[in-house]
Amino acid sequence: MKSIFNRSVLRAGLVLLFSSAAILLLAAAQRKEARVTQVVRDVKLLPPHVAPRPAHLNDNVMDGSAVHTGADSRAELTFADLTITRVGANSIFSFDQDGRNVNVESGAILLRMPKASSGTRIRSSTLTVGITGTTVMFESRPGNYSKLIVLEGNSQAWLTKHPEKKITVHAGQMLVVKAGATQVPEPVDIDEGLVLRTAVLITEFPPLPNLHLMRSVAESQKKSGGPLFNPLIDPTGMGARDVDASTRPQPTPYRTPPGDRNPKP
């Protein structure tokens, strides 16, 4: 009788062990995927080693995949830890390591990371940004500039080719780095209220869970009465597009300044 009891206990223990392992493997697999929670017009998914395909609502996006949006198009991905990534028009965005490494080849994204998450790095050929529990916009124009706007929280930023010097960019600030820069410029204070009212990556999607935190930053800026930079104007002096302009067609024609190789649409 005792032998039978011991064998039953052993079998029950093995079943519990294998069940727990299966649950952990399933959870790990789910963490490595994102789900498409919004898709507008021309959005393509580029899984690794697989032909590109059109994106559809509720599609699962595998770890290591890329997202490519066409003109006047946009998409939103939501990860298992509730990290939200929004991709603007004419953008190429990819992620790996459960969304912990984000690469913006070109175009603009908004990334909202919950406070409890383990952090992410956003990278372009010019600029790399480390964020944890933060909401940012990031734009890359290869050969021209990279731009970071911190909407709430803080982030660390450094030149992709020179990671030895990092700076902190605070909520309500913008950092613009020219291609080929050897030093990180100082961030500038921007009008966050204007961003919240105009940026398509905010206005054309459902409200973010932490929108109240961003509004609080905008209200604090108003109360401080300090000078604020218009985020729709680029401090590089190149007339380059910003995060909003990259996702919204311009209502009036734009005349390209002499020597500007990156005109607005």
pLDDT, tens digit, for every residue of 136-145? Answer: 999 999 999 9
Listed by start position, the domains of the chain span 32-224
Q: What is the pLDDT of residues 15-66, one digit of tens each?
A: 444 433 333 333 333 445 899 999 999 999 999 888 999 999 999 998 899 9
Residues near 25 by Cβ (< 8 Å), separated by ≥ 6?
A: none
- For CA atoms 178, 87, 156, 186, give the dihedral sign: positive
pLDDT at 168: 97
**C-alpha closest to that of 149 among 130, 170, 125:** 170
Q: What is the pLDDT of residue 229?
A: 84
Give tens-digit pLDDT for 152-207.
999 999 999 999 989 999 999 999 999 999 999 999 999 999 999 999 999 999 99
Check residue 99 and give its pLDDT. 60
pLDDT score at 122: 96
* pLDDT of amino acid 14: 44
Express the helix, strand and coil content of the chain in percent, nearest 5 each: 20, 35, 45
Structure confidence by residue, pLDDT tens digits, 211-248 = 999 999 999 999 988 888 887 765 554 333 334 444 34
Strands (E), the chain: 34-40, 43-46, 53-54, 60-61, 66-69, 74-79, 84-87, 92-96, 101-112, 120-123, 127-131, 135-141, 145-152, 154-159, 162-170, 173-178, 188-189
Question: Does the pTM exceed 0.75?
Answer: yes
- Reported as a single tens digit per residue, the pLDDT across 53-107 is 999 999 999 889 999 999 999 999 999 889 999 999 999 999 986 567 899 999 9
Yes or no: domain 32-224 corresponds to CATH 3.40.50.10540:
no
The predicted pLDDT at position 66 comes to 94
pLDDT at 32: 58
